Structure 1
């Protein structure tokens, strides 16, 4: 049998209204087109679906039963199509992410690659900035999500999801005596020349706290605001450094060595933040799920 979706819609509309004219008005069709559709259905089935006289159109028993069953199928089809439309809309749109530099260079790239592969219609826009600025732009509504490390900035007004711990590491030239230690301790840093992060950074405050608690004295020789500048000076032989792992050189570096520091294993917490008060929806929720899963 050869039925079109439109013909089935005509069947249910005529049965519901009991009139070709009102069914035509409901469907935005002409009365003659409705009559033609009904005749085609009846010819295909070999059975009358409606009893007609000059004033009334009444569904036969077969017509009533068929219209009821077809009506349920059409409702199911509408639900399926609506769900498909909703899913498509959830996967389309722009998502603005504000992130600290170390997150942009190490944490976000694999997340962006997964989002691009799974959700190609999501337009990711990433802005790099300091941690305190990340919190401010998210709270101000200028970014949908923020990725930053916990620190002196106030995160209380925001909803935060943990992304894991970024462990502090020793960074030194490959020829340095500490490079031979697989698990150097904080006490191994005692008396060393150190290229430090700027005293105004949240990371520096954490590093100074551990050194103080362990009774370790170092000789600061330089202070830099960017981890890249710290690494450049360490590579030039100015001293050693302590950096969070996301900011430290990778194993592919041919000049510098990175070793996690132990006793204690100190770290900074990375978090994903968004404005509070309402659940994440649409493409923002999809991107946040990828970030939370990969960052954990």
Structure 2
């Protein structure tokens, strides 16, 4: 099994480095692959339990104005192409600190009071008790992202077809949080 950088699954697929990719974010070459919709997960704000947002029912774009965000480095706005920030449109954070895609590192920064982050609910939930964090819905309607199984167009070897079929059947099941959380 081959792994590729988080920001290059579609190019790796097109270069025959991998046969299947799980993707959530747009790619300039997305129209050159076949996509199968799998599931949606909810993105939530992650804050220390004592943070003013911790008791809020949900956050708005205005809440993010002036906030210090700690995000994975694929949200670095200097990258080309840059990923849209996982916050409501129109929000104007004061500072964005980007970190390697190491959840423990981002969580430690938030727990240490260095800012707030936005993570998938199923990723953040295990840290709430151990790190004294709270998860807060973003928007009156949940901020979600859609996961897809991406393959090259055309026919595939039987083992790839079987893998995609198994993956699709398991990840399309009804869920309330994500691949490993309740409802999975």
Could you say which TM-score interval applies, normalised by the shorter chain?
0.7 to 0.9
- Greater length-normalized contact order (CA 8 Å, ≥ 6 residues apart): 2
Q: What is the aligned counterpart of 1:234 among 97, 107, 110?
A: 110
SS in 1 for 2:11: helix
SS in 2 for 1:239: coil
SS in 1 for 2:168: helix
In the other structure, the counterpart of 1:257 is 134
Gap change, CA 1:183 and 1:202, over 3 Å in 2: farther
User: Which structure shows the higher strand fraction?
Assistant: 2
Q: Which of structures 1 and 2 has the bigger CA Rg?
A: 1
Aligned runs of 1:102-113 on 2, under 5 Å? none
RMSD over aligned CA atoms reads 2.7
In the other structure, the counterpart of 1:270 is 147
SS in 2 for 1:290: helix
Aligned length: 165
Query: 1:26-62 CA distances to partner (integer Å, 9 max, x unpaired)?
Result: xxxxxxxxxxxxxxxxxxxxxxxxxxxxxxxxxxxxx
User: Which structure shows the higher helix fraction?
Assistant: 1
TM-score when normalising by structure 2: 0.73
After TM superposition, what 4+ stretches of structure 1 lie above 6 angstroms from structure 2? Answer: none
Gap change, CA 1:218 and 1:127, over 3 Å in 2: same
In the other structure, the counterpart of 2:89 is 211
Listed as ranges, the gaps of 5+ residues in structure 2 are: 173-184
In the other structure, the counterpart of 2:171 is 295
Once the two structures are TM-superposed, the CA of residue 146 in structure 1 deviates from its matched residue by: 1.0
TM-score when normalising by structure 1: 0.48
Gap change, CA 1:253 and 1:266, over 3 Å in 2: closer
Once the two structures are TM-superposed, the CA of residue 139 in structure 1 deviates from its matched residue by: 1.4
Gap change, CA 1:222 and 1:295, over 3 Å in 2: same
